[in-house]
Amino acid sequence: MTPLPASENDVDPRKWYYYIDMNWDSFSDGRTRNKHKMYEEPYEAGWSYDENTGKVISHTIVETREKERTIEVKESNIYNITQTIAETFGVFCRYKYYHDNNYHITKKVIIFFNNYLYD
């Protein structure tokens, strides 16, 4: 898989391309997030016990950051591989085929997304 090129002239119909199209509108920091990247949500990673109040207090908050994952794939097809990627990153994938007037495939694109996509 290759990132989708900006120019249609650079597309090879034999290759699969991918495109990330995330919708961050429902997130409080959605305007600061790049729609072509996947992010970890902020979470509390460290806790301590306060003896004075008797409460557990978080002391380490990991801020939003781009997701990073490692997967291992052997002897599989593009559909199984992309489904594994989607499951690993917690997103969905859609396959889109483009064709010419004679119905020859001109481009194959895998779109990874987190919300409903409009055509």
Tens of each residue's pLDDT in the chain, 119 residues = 788 888 888 899 899 999 999 998 888 888 888 999 998 887 788 888 988 898 888 877 777 888 888 888 888 899 999 999 999 999 999 999 999 999 999 999 999 999 865 65
pLDDT of residue 98: 93
Please state whether beta strands 105-113 and 16-20 pair in parallel, antiparallel, or not at all (unpaired): parallel
Q: What is the pLDDT of residue 48?
A: 87
Say what the alpha-carbon torsion angle 78, 81, 85, 88 is, to the nearest 10 degrees. 160
pLDDT of residue 116: 65
Q: What is the pLDDT of residue 83?
A: 93
pTM of the model: 0.75
The predicted pLDDT at position 118 comes to 61
| Phi/psi-derived region of residue 84, left when phi > 0, alpha when psi is between -120 and 50, beta in every other case | alpha
